[in-house]
A and B are shown apart, each in its own frame.
Chain A
Amino acid sequence: MSITRNLLVAALLASAGHAVAASSVDLSVKGTITPRACKTALSNGGLVDFGKLSAKDLRPDQPTYLPRQNLQMTVTCDASTLFAVALKDNRAGSESNQDYYNFGLGLINGTEKLGYFTVAMSGPVADDVNVRGIASFDGGVTWERESALVDDGLTSFADMNTLAPVPVQRLVTDLQVAGAIAPSQGLTLTNEVPLDGSVTLTVRYL
Chain B
Amino acid sequence: MKHLLIALALSSGTAHAASTVDLAVTGLITPMACKPLLSGGGLVDFGKISRNDLNLTNGTRLPHKYLTLTVNCNAPGRFALRMRDNRDGTAHVNSEIFYGLGLDTSGNKIGVYSVSFDPRQTVVDDLAVVYGTESTTGGLAWRMANLNPIDVGSRSLLGFTDVVGSTAGPSAIQTLTSTLKLEATINARQNLDLSVETPMDGSATLEVVYL
Contacts of A16 in B (CB 8 A): 137-140
Mostly, the B contact residues are strand
Complex Cα gap A3–B62 (Å): 51
- Count A-side interface residues using an 8 Å CB cutoff: 41
**Is A27 within 8 A of B206, CB to CB?**
yes
Residue in contact with B27 in the complex, picked from A5, A9, A26, A29, CB distance below 8 Å: A9
Complex Cα gap A28–B31 (Å): 29
Contacts of B207 in A (CB 8 A): 22-24
**Is A23 within 8 A of B34, CB to CB?**
yes
**Is A25 within 8 A of B206, CB to CB?**
yes
B145 within 8 A of A: no
Which residues of B, 21-58, contact A by the 8 Å Cβ criterion? Answer: 25-31, 33-38, 42-54
Contacts of B37 in A (CB 8 A): 25
Q: A18-B138, A28-B203 are in contact. Are A37 and B50 (CB under 8 A)?
A: yes
**Is A6 within 8 A of B50, CB to CB?**
no
Complex Cα gap A5–B2 (Å): 10
Which residues of B, 42-80, contact A by the 8 Å Cβ criterion? Answer: 42-54, 62, 67, 69
Contacts of A205 in B (CB 8 A): 47-50
Complex Cα gap A196–B61 (Å): 30
Residue-by-residue, is A64-79 near B (CB-CB < 8 Å gives 1, otherwise 0)?
0000000000000000
- Count B-side interface residues using an 8 Å CB cutoff: 68
**Is B31 within 8 A of A32, CB to CB?**
no
Complex Cα gap A184–B174 (Å): 57
B115 within 8 A of A: yes
**Is B199 within 8 A of A25, CB to CB?**
no
- The minimal Cβ–Cβ distance linking A57 to chain B, given in whole angstroms, is 43
Which residues of B, 129-162, contact A by the 8 Å Cβ criterion? Answer: 137-140
Chain B residues within 8 Å of A, Cβ to Cβ: 1-4, 6, 25-31, 33-38, 42-54, 62, 67, 69, 82-83, 86, 99, 101, 110, 113, 115, 137-140, 182, 184, 186, 192, 194-211
Q: What are 21 inter-chain pairs, A to B, with CB distance below 8 A?
A: A6-B1, A6-B31, A8-B28, A16-B138, A16-B140, A18-B209, A19-B30, A21-B210, A22-B209, A24-B206, A25-B37, A26-B42, A27-B42, A27-B202, A27-B204, A28-B43, A32-B48, A33-B200, A34-B49, A35-B196, A37-B53
Q: A19-B27, A33-B186 are in contact. List 7 more A-B contacts (CB 8 A).
A: A16-B140, A19-B210, A26-B206, A27-B67, A32-B197, A36-B51, A205-B49
